[in-house]
Amino acid sequence: MNFSDFSFWWVLLLVGIPFFTIRYIAKSFNLWRNAFDSIGLMVLSLTLFVNASRTSFAVFCFEIIFNYVMVYFMLRRQGWQAKAIATTVVVIDIAILAYFKYVNFFVESVVGLVLPGIAESWKGIPGSGAIPPGISFYTFQMVAFVVDSFTSKKKQPIGPINYINFVSFFPQVVAGPIERRSDLFPQIESFRFKFSWENFETGFQWLSLGLFMKFVLADNLSPFIDLKEATNAWLVWFHAFLFTLRIYFDFGGYSFMAVGLARIMGVKLTLNFLAPYTSQSIQEFWRRWHVTLSTWFRDYVFLPMMGANKRLAEFFLFLTFTLSGFWHGAAWNFILWGAYHGALLLLLRYLTRQRQTPIGKYVAKMPALLSWALTFASVTLGCLFFMETDIARLGQKIVTLVTPWAYSLSNLTGAFSNPDFSVNQLWTLGFTLFLSCGLLLLEHMAIWQKRKSEYDLLLSPWVSRILLALTVLLAANEPSKFIYFEF
């Protein structure tokens, strides 16, 4: 769901207020049945989904019906029959995703090189245009459910309403977190709204943090990110740095809002981010960034591909990260981004194994501050691949970054004498960066103090209320689109 869209909150109130009013009155007269909570959640989720995107909703409904029927029969079969059904469902789910998300890329970028005229004729074919919002996320959640149901020792039947609520749970259906059957389904099965002061307070704290990260930090940084600058190395780094902050505050903000909304209803979602910019290695970064996607690729791509053949683990790791990059978008820059992170992981794995060499000893004993700085710089460079979809301009930026004289003093002094922004806009940028660094510092402090959560300091009651007040005062006039809605 698009939490920055007014219609989301309007529909939520338009459906929610009458439903909970009727629920309260019926409970007063002992007329309410527990099953009505599950039905109400289903209606609410589906209504919000169809309001967000009718195209995606149509695809979603087809996949729901198809997956549920197939899983229903799969759970009643044994051996090769159950495996054949599971394989068929997974293949068809991925094929649907590939059609909407990758066929256009394949025709234009691969087939179009051989037959240039085919790309133009392809544009008129249905499904070759915009990607249905959320299809990458709900498809992966459905695939995981099929695999987990197949491997589960308990082949219990699944009710249709419970299944619909699992795959359509409105806080996370469009942009995650990608939930597993073992984590979310027990909470959704025979669902009951669990309103309590504790759930409301915890949900409010996550919601306040998410709103602040998205509407104050991410949206105020967005206008200052210039993709066209490619000749001044200082500015290329600066805009990549701004994007590095923005993508975390944007996607992390969405994820925390989803956690907050779910918690108010009594559901605990998986934390998709664990203060990733506090990481001191690329391995640690990927344990903290987009956690549910990383574990999805680990469990359903990397481990099955590798199997017992651990001698090729590095190759399969690199391939998995390249595929994860392709998942983010049907463009070459995303493939390069995935391959870049895969190569970094392989390099670090190699260096840590060389403990007896001078380089290996230095890497093992590297100061924490230097490890963090190198990791953050590596992530920032990777964001350059992520943000720049123009391959020619991306190549020009890479050349600029490796050209020594692009870091000249004249480039440095001229980098920020930009007449395109007013004094007020520059003050907005400076203050937003100040708030951004303050938030990241509080994440670092929580880890240094070994608190129970990376966001412990940001979730305290008084900080949450300050963040909400700052959101009301400082929210950007024009909210930017959620970055991950494009994937």
141, 173, 193: which is the final residue of a domain?
193
Query: Are 171 and 203 a contacting pair, CB within 8 Å?
Result: no
pLDDT in tens, the chain (487 residues): 677 778 888 888 999 899 999 999 998 888 888 889 999 999 999 999 988 888 888 999 999 999 999 999 998 888 889 999 999 999 999 999 988 888 877 776 665 555 555 555 555 555 555 678 888 899 999 999 999 999 888 778 889 999 999 999 999 888 879 999 989 999 998 889 998 999 999 999 999 999 999 999 999 999 888 888 888 889 999 999 999 999 999 999 999 999 999 999 999 999 999 999 999 999 999 999 999 999 999 999 999 888 777 888 889 999 999 999 988 887 888 999 999 999 999 988 887 776 666 666 666 677 888 989 999 999 999 999 999 888 889 999 999 999 888 888 888 877 777 666 777 888 889 999 999 999 999 999 999 988 888 999 999 999 999 999 999 999 888 777 777 766 6
Q: How many residues belong to the chain?
A: 487
Does 336 share its domain with 290?
yes
Question: DSSP of 127-182, one letter per residue?
Answer: TSSSPPTTHHHHHHHHHHHHHHHHH-S------HHHHHHHHH-TTTTTT-----HH
Does 407 share its domain with 439?
yes
Determine the Cα angle at 264 with ends 261 and 267, to 5°. 85
147, 165, 193: which is the final residue of a domain?
193
Q: How close are the terminal C-alpha atoms of the chain, in Å?
A: 14
Tell me whether residue 1 is in a domain. Answer: no
The helix/strand/coil state of 380 is helix
Does 177 share its domain with 320?
no
Query: Are 353 and 364 a contacting pair, CB within 8 Å?
Result: no
193, 221, 244: which is the final residue of a domain?
193
Domain housing 63: 6-193
How many folded domains does the chain comprise?
Answer: 2
> Before 160, cis peptide (omega within 30)?
no
Burial class (CB in 10 A: 0-12, 13-18, 19+), 114: exposed
List the catalytic residues: 328
Does 406 share its domain with 471?
yes
| Residue 77: predicted pLDDT | 86
Does 130 share its domain with 254?
no
